[in-house]
Amino acid sequence: MIKIKILIVDDDQDMRMLLKTYLEKLEVDEIHFTATAAETYDFLNLSDLKTEPKVDLIILDIILEAENGIEICKKIKQSPVYQEVQIIMITAQQEAGFLREAFAAGAMDYIKKPIKKIEFMARVNSAIKLRKEIKSRIAREKELLALSEKLKNVNKKLEKMALVDGLTGISNRRLFDKTLKKELKRARRKETELALIMLDIDHFKQYNDTYGHQEGDECLKEIASVLEANSKRASDFAARYGGEEFAVILPDTAKGGALKIAEDIRKDIMALKLEHKNSPIAEYVTVSLGVSSLQVKTEVSQKLIKSFIDKADQALYQAKETGRNKTVY
């Protein structure tokens, strides 16, 4: 609900009471009173630039004793907090020069003295209506802004999700492709060597057949966490390449270093001792790995990327062909 708060600035006690009885017949939630300029500035807290405005509408008697109503009006309107507040002047003076000055000072309307009830009610009522419209528009805009912030956050989350493998929580093929291209370009720029490990679980079909697909999924998660743990440098990058195949990108790494990391991974997976009783080669889950490394001397093309992956794939094939549970370069 939109609340309307009104301040009456008048030093005449009888006038205050009269205006109060009028206002109580309109849609007003709070009525406040001040009698002097100083009291008004104080009440409005003009020196504080961060608070919400204390009132929506100010009814300002222009002939306060020894004070200039137009000055008060100006001063209130100068505060950034009270830019939107509406000021209605009550004045006995109606010469053009004076009124021009009052409007220039920021007054939105004026009521002639002596006050006629019907005129007072009509003018204040239309000010209240206008104020309500403005306030509800501001509230709507705030809501929209909050909503669009939420959408932005959801979008960010979705973008992230699109790059993460749902089962293992490590990067997916899409992010692998992006990262490999980026790292190849960087390797060319920095004239460093880049290594790639491709990994495939040995006799994993048999594993699924023996323990069920669910257990197979658990096994994939375990393998993924070994890969993450062995991607020690910030730039090392592990991903699920597909089904039961994984890949690790190792920037600034040559053959020797890559072989070492591949062997660490293979041994760490053996050390998990994930039972695989029907495996033809071991009692536990094992993996085969193929490694390639490259000094990028030409433009990074799709052809170059493919041949780099193919080299690791061929090494992996060799590992499978020559007994599995091993690393081949």
Residues interacting with ligand GH3, by CB under 6 A? Answer: 200-206, 208, 213, 216-217, 220, 243-244, 320, 324
What's the closest the beta carbon of residue 170 comes to ligand GH3, in angstroms? 13
> For Mg ion, which stretch binds (CB under 5 A), given 109-117, 130-138, 146-154, 202-210?
202-210
- Closer residue to Mg ion in complex, CB, 7/312: 312
Reference 245, options 196, 187, 294, 302; nearest CA is: 196
Task: For residue 297, give both structure tokens.
Answer: 């001397």
We find the least distance from the C-beta atom of residue 269 to Mg ion, in angstroms, to be 13
Minimum distance of Mg ion from residue 283's CB (angstroms):
17
CB 276 within 8 A of CB 244: no
Active-site residue 244, yes or no? yes
Q: Which of 33, 120, 176, 204 binds Mg ion (CB under 5 A)?
A: 204
Please tell me which residue in 39, 244, 245, 263 is annotated as part of the active site: 244
Rule CB under 5 A: say whether 313 interacts with Mg ion: no
Helix residue ranges per DSSP H, the chain: 13-23, 37-44, 69-78, 96-104, 117-161, 173-190, 204-211, 213-230, 255-272, 302-321
DSSP 274-327: -B-TT-SS-SB--EEEEEEEEE--S---HHHHHHHHHHHHHHHHHHHHTTSSSE
Nearest residue (CB) to ligand GH3, 107 versus 287: 287
Minimal distance, residue 137 CB to ligand GH3, in Å? 53
Instruction: Assess 207 for contact with Mg ion (CB under 5 A).
Output: no
| Residue 205 binding: pick among Mg ion, ligand GH3, none (C-beta 5-8 Å cut-off by kind) | ligand GH3
Distance (Å, rounded) from C-alpha 3 to C-alpha 25? Answer: 15
Q: Which partner, ligand GH3, Mg ion, none, binds residue 216 by CB below 5 to 8 Å per kind?
A: ligand GH3
Distance, CA of 26 to CA of 16 (rounded, Å): 16
* Residue 93 interacting partner from Mg ion, ligand GH3, none (CB closer than 5 to 8 Å by kind): none
CA distances from 61 to 20, 42, 102, 108, 249 (A): 14, 17, 12, 14, 78
Q: Does 201 help bind Mg ion (rule: CB under 5 A)?
A: yes
Residues with catalytic function: 244
